[in-house]
Amino acid sequence: MKSLDEFSASQKLINRELSWLSFNIRVMEQSSNKRYPLLERLRFLSISGSNLDEFYMVRVAGLRNLMMAEANVISDDGLTESEQLIKISALSSELVKKQQVECAELLRELKKNKLSLLEADDLTNGEKKWLEVYFLEELFPILTPLAIDLAHPFPFIANLGFSLIVDLRRNEDNKPLLALIPIPTQTKRFIRLADIKGEIRFISLENVLSLFIGHIFPNYALIGEGIFRIIRDSELEVEEKAEDLVLVFESALKRRRRGNVVRLEVNSSMPKNLRRIIRKELEVSKEEIINIDGILGLSELSDLIVDDRKDLIFEPFSPRFPRRVKEFSGDIFAAITQKDFVVHHPFESFDVVVSFIQQAAQDDDVLAIKQTLYRTGDNSPIVEALIKAAESGKSVTALVELKARFDEARNIKWAQDMERAGVQVVFGFLELKTHAKISVVIRREDEKLKSYVHFGTGNYHPQTAKVYTDISFFTDNKELGHDAVHIFNYLTGNTVPTSLQKAKISPFYIRSSLIGLIDQEIEFARIGKPANIWIKLNALVDPAIIEKLYEASNAGVSIDMVVRGICCLRAGVKGMSENIRVKSIVGRFLEHARIVCFGNGELLPSKNAKVFISSADWMPRNFDRRVEILVPLENPTVHSQVLDQIMVSNIKDTEQSWTLKNDDRYKKVEAEDEIFSAHQYFMTNPSLSGVGSVNVEDEDKE
């Protein structure tokens, strides 16, 4: 049998980018899940398109920049930038083809269910007349046709921008005209026509423009046309030294909008001469051109999800408000004082987190509120509560992370609004992202100060909390309150906390703490005790942690992992990872919570297990370049709820699970007996908070 040292890097690790593409294939494959309503299947297809766009904007753009700079950076699995780009191109091309096949099939099924996306030839004469009026009144005034010649150079096309390119000849003298019509983003991509006999009918904006090209270029004959869409490099470049972070990020956001083109999508019917012109003007290589035999911009298919076809979407789900808080008439401080509790989103309402801050803002005994903000969304009730608290004279500190990708502009606005209200706004560190999710409320009780703390695995974002599965942990534990205050002192004063009592933070302690806990399980295995680890993450990339998990596997530690997205670990390889099992859950809700459980010398699940929640995935960036938190769950009820319910349910799930095989491919789990869905279980069972442990094996007794 091989020792670990005999395995090469490429044998030990799956490439990060290829693993992500594999994840997005799993997302796309949900579009063929016959158990889901048709429009929900369309939503998964749309999500896979949006995911792929962002992947190219960030990951592929980064690799391309490294290659052009001749940086010669070798990936952890031993590939150069160019080798990775070649493999990415092959797998993404496979994904794009599958997306279009699924799209065509879904559109056929939707048509059978009286929801149609039409071509121009499908229109009735009445619909053409109506569309002509719509075009002249609603579209024509906002169109800007652009001639391309010596006097009119090729225009700038924004990121994710659609354009129609046309080759024309003037009727009177056959003089050629080449022109672009950028498709405006201010209008809908799909235009809804009047229903006919209960059938909902749409037509794409590009089809409408093509249909009425004569209104845009009168007295010209159309020789050829095509649609194209571009994706630009959207990574932010931030100066090493900056006196004003807000100004730096505002400037960087402007530069992002003009990033280099990293992907050019063209419809397959576009004439070759037009394709050559676009390629030359945008300065893209052949490898960066994707021919689409179908619909460009699949992310916008979500616009076809209409409210009046409720039979084609999931039945609405209303999250429950935690029973514990109800028992105290909504007084969250009283509920926490009675006992620590967890809230399992989205099955339990995020309103309790909002109420925690709102109650603190209105409570005369609250002296201070400290809050991290990574992503908050529009019209954030959390931010509004912080503003009200500051206006009422409380000491309010908000750590706003400007480097939350694609939320930078929103976070700048919130920071400015809070500063005007008197909130002490801090932007953290230029070289680190603050990703930890912590709220601290300092309250005077019985002439003493008491800390109430919320630790979360997800963002303080009411909208994403409706679809992301996350954990909110509320506690008044003195040691954890002490740790939370010291962490905020680090965030605001840049003083490294050296006296944390229970919590661990990166970039200092999380990786080493996890390695130490894995070492303990290795030692249990060596002395003949049960040794097992359960892990739930969004991504597993860190080579040092993966190496330690391989060591644990070889020592006899049993390891079960639920990794939704990227997983660079190879599972089930003899002599390396034969005791490691990896599955991915992709379903109605997006698995987002990070949980790790160590058997501590007993078989899991066990009341003596060590259980932690975290904001961190196991990636180098989370351990080395972010401020993250790892929190132990020691209260018996909370411990049982997370271990015996959430983790057991995730491991038992068959409905939306894929297993990672030792050939790096994921295979959909086929239930041997009954199908079990973790999401459905939590939607239909009582809330976690205040009901004690629920054994998943005995679900029929509930």
Q: Which CATH superfamily is domain 505-701 in?
A: Endonuclease Chain A (3.30.870.10)
Give residues with Cβ within 8 angstroms of 257, minimum separation 6.
158, 159, 232
Tally of CB atoms within 10 A around 132: 14
User: Is 482 in the active site?
Assistant: no
> How far apart are the C-alpha atoms of 181 and 209, rounded to whole Å?
9
Helical H runs in 502-635?
A: 510-526, 543-555, 620-624
CATH 3.30.870.10 positions along the chain are 323-502, 505-701
- Per the residue annotation, which of 344, 435, 454, 592 is the catalytic one? 435
Name the band, by pLDDT with cuts 50, 70 and 90, for residue 238.
Answer: very low
Give residues with Cβ within 8 angstroms of 325, minimum separation 6.
331, 332, 335, 352, 355, 689
End-to-end CA distance of the chain: 48
Query: Per-residue pLDDT averaged across 55-83, rounded?
Result: 90
Q: Which CATH superfamily is domain 323-502 in?
A: Endonuclease Chain A (3.30.870.10)
Does the pLDDT at position 72 exceed 60?
yes
Q: Dump pLDDT digits (tens) for 565-592.
A: 999 999 999 999 999 999 999 999 999 9
Quote the distance between the C-alpha of residue 488 and its chain's center.
26
Does the pLDDT at position 614 exceed 60?
yes
Q: What is the pLDDT of residue 553?
A: 98
Q: What is the pLDDT of residue 702?
A: 28
Does the pLDDT at position 548 exceed 90?
yes
Give residues with Cβ within 8 angstroms of 129, minimum separation 6.
none
Give residues with Cβ within 8 angstroms of 386, minimum separation 6.
357, 361, 369, 371, 396, 398, 418, 423
Does the pLDDT at position 645 exceed 70?
yes
Distances from the Cα of 189 to the Cαs of 27, 105, 199, 203, 419, in angstroms? 23, 20, 19, 9, 38
136-284 is classed in which CATH architecture?
Answer: 2-Layer Sandwich (3.30)
CATH 3.30.1840.10 positions along the chain are 136-284
Q: Which structure tokens are listed for 121? A: 């030839």
Distances from the Cα of 383 to the Cαs of 374, 422, 590, 661, in angstroms? 12, 12, 24, 45
Name the band, by pLDDT with cuts 50, 70 and 90, for residue 191.
Answer: very high
Q: What is the pLDDT of residue 688?
A: 54
Name the band, by pLDDT with cuts 50, 70 and 90, for residue 239.
Answer: very low
Q: What is the pLDDT of residue 242?
A: 43
Place of tokens 């698995």: 591
> How far apart are the C-alpha atoms of 387 and 373, rounded to whole Å?
13
Q: Is 643 or 256 the better-scoring residue by pLDDT?
A: 643
Name the band, by pLDDT with cuts 50, 70 and 90, for residue 250.
Answer: low
Does the pLDDT at position 687 exceed 80?
no
Q: Which structure tokens are listed for 82? A: 């160019």
Q: What is the pLDDT of residue 694?
A: 36
Name the band, by pLDDT with cuts 50, 70 and 90, for residue 188.
Answer: confident
Give residues with Cβ within 8 angstroms of 454, minimum separation 6.
353, 356, 437, 438, 439, 440, 472, 473, 474
Which contiguous run of DSSP H or E holds residue 341?
A: strand 341-345
Does the pLDDT at position 248 exceed 70?
no
Query: Per-residue pLDDT averaged across 616-622, rounded?
Result: 97
Q: Which structure tokens are listed for 200? A: 């909902």
291, 264 in Cβ contact below 8 A? no
Q: Dump pLDDT digits (tens) for 270-286.
A: 999 999 999 999 989 88
Query: Per-residue pLDDT averaged across 493-501, rounded?
Result: 90
Q: Dump pLDDT digits (tens) for 626-643.
A: 999 999 999 999 999 999
Dump strand ranges (E) for 79-170: 115-118, 146-147, 162-170
Place of tokens 């949006």: 50
The bridge status of strand 176-182 relative to strand 162-170 is antiparallel
Does the pLDDT at position 184 exceed 70?
yes
Query: Per-residue pLDDT averaged across 354-364, rounded?
Result: 96
Q: Is 459 or 443 the better-scoring residue by pLDDT?
A: 443
Query: Per-residue pLDDT averaged across 90-97, rounded?
Result: 95
Quote the distance between the C-alpha of residue 338 and its chain's center.
35
Does the pLDDT at position 240 exceed 70?
no
Is the preceding peptide bond at 543 cis, omega within 30 degrees of 0? no
Quote the distance between the C-alpha of residue 529 and its chain's center.
39
Q: Is 549 or 161 the better-scoring residue by pLDDT?
A: 549
Q: Which structure tokens are listed for 159? A: 């990121």
Query: Per-residue pLDDT averaged across 398-409, rounded?
Result: 72
Q: What is the pLDDT of residue 258?
A: 54
Dump strand ranges (E) for 541-656: 558-563, 580-585, 590-591, 594-598, 610-614, 626-632
DSSP helix/strand/coil, 592: coil
Does the pLDDT at position 252 exceed 70?
no
Does the pLDDT at position 149 exceed 90?
no
DSSP-assigned letter for residue 666 = E
477, 398 in Cβ contact below 8 A? no
10-14, 245-249, 364-368 — which is least confidently predicted?
245-249
> How far apart are the C-alpha atoms of 611 and 600, rounded to whole Å?
10
Q: Is 403 exposed, middle or buried (0-12, 13-18, 19+ CB in 10 A)?
A: buried
2, 537 in Cβ contact below 8 A? no
Task: Let me know how long the chain is.
Answer: 702
b/e burial code for range 64-76 (CB count within 10 A of at least 16 → b):
bbbbeeeeeeebb
78: left (phi over 0), alpha (psi -120 to 50) or beta: left
Q: What is the pLDDT of residue 699?
A: 31
The bridge status of strand 289-292 relative to strand 261-267 is parallel
Does the pLDDT at position 689 exceed 80?
no
Does the pLDDT at position 126 exceed 90?
yes
Query: Per-residue pLDDT averaged across 561-568, rounded?
Result: 98
Tally of CB atoms within 10 A around 38: 21
Q: What is the pLDDT of residue 237?
A: 47
> How far apart are the C-alpha atoms of 596 and 615, rounded to whole Å?
11
Q: What is the pLDDT of residue 698?
A: 33
> How far apart are the C-alpha atoms of 136 and 169, rounded to whole Å?
23
635, 340 in Cβ contact below 8 A? yes
Query: Per-residue pLDDT averaged across 503-526, rounded?
Result: 97
> How far apart are the C-alpha atoms of 676 and 210, rounded to whole Å?
49
